[in-house]
């Protein structure tokens, strides 16, 4: 077999695996990385995160549960195991994953289990869904820093768990507060001295 044909066959065999990894949200480039975070109602989270310099795009959806192809009518019952979550694509040159996590801890209360503002239930839990060991160790280090700061006055209960699947929420949820500027949110950026500088 000619070397060029052999190379083509090897690349063709690898392509499905590579696209599968990308579809799962685990393959990124030097200028594009992904993060999956949950911190209460995804409307308010998305509105604040998309304004952070270095964020290239956001989508709201459902992560961390057992029900395949989960939809809002299922997730809102709290019985699917999913959290209302945010997929964030960012430029790591402009915004490090570590700094993104500090911003995350400023915009929601990480000390209240399964609760943000008026929203109560496992679907409103605080969670970081890591894509690799680097994201996991960064998340754990940031949580230690947030805990040590004492800024929240209680221990952080944010889950750090492996990413499994993200189901994009219905279109009316996407950028909800852009479409409805007076819509409900319990999120705002708190001025905390979390020591990330």
Which amino acids are annotated catalytic? 41
- For CA atoms 149, 145, 101, 72, the dihedral sign is negative
* Pairwise CA distance, residues 46 & 129, whole Å: 16
**What Rg, from alpha-carbon coordinates, does the chain have?**
18
CA 80 to chain centre: 18
Query: Any idea what the Cα angle at residue 23 is, between residues 116 and 169, rounded to 5°?
Result: 35
């Amino acid at each position: 077999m000619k070397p060029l044909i052999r190379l083509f066959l090897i690349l063709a065999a690898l392509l499905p695996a590579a696209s599968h990894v990308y579809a799962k949200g685990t393959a990124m480039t030097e200028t594009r990385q992904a993060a999956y975070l949950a911190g209460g109602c995804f409307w308010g989270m998305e509105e604040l995160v998309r304004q952070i310099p270095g964020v290239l795009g956001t989508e709201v959806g459902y992560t961390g549960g057992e029900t395949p192809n989960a939809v809002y009518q299922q997730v809102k019952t709290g019985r699917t195991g999913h959290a209302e979550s945010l997929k964030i694509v960012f430029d790591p040159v402009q915004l490090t994953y570590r700094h993104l996590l500090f911003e995350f801890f400023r915009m929601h209360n990480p000390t209240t289990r399964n609760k943000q503002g008026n929203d109560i239930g496992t679907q409103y839990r605080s969670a970081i869904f890591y894509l690799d060991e680097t994201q996991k160790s960064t998340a754990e280090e940031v949580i230690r820093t947030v805990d040590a700061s004492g800024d929240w006055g209680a221990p952080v209960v944010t889950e750090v768990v492996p990413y499994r699947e993200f189901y994009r929420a219905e279109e009316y949820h996407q950028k909800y507060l852009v479409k409805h500027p007076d819509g409900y949110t319990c999120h705002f950026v708190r001025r905390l001295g979390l020591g990330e500088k």
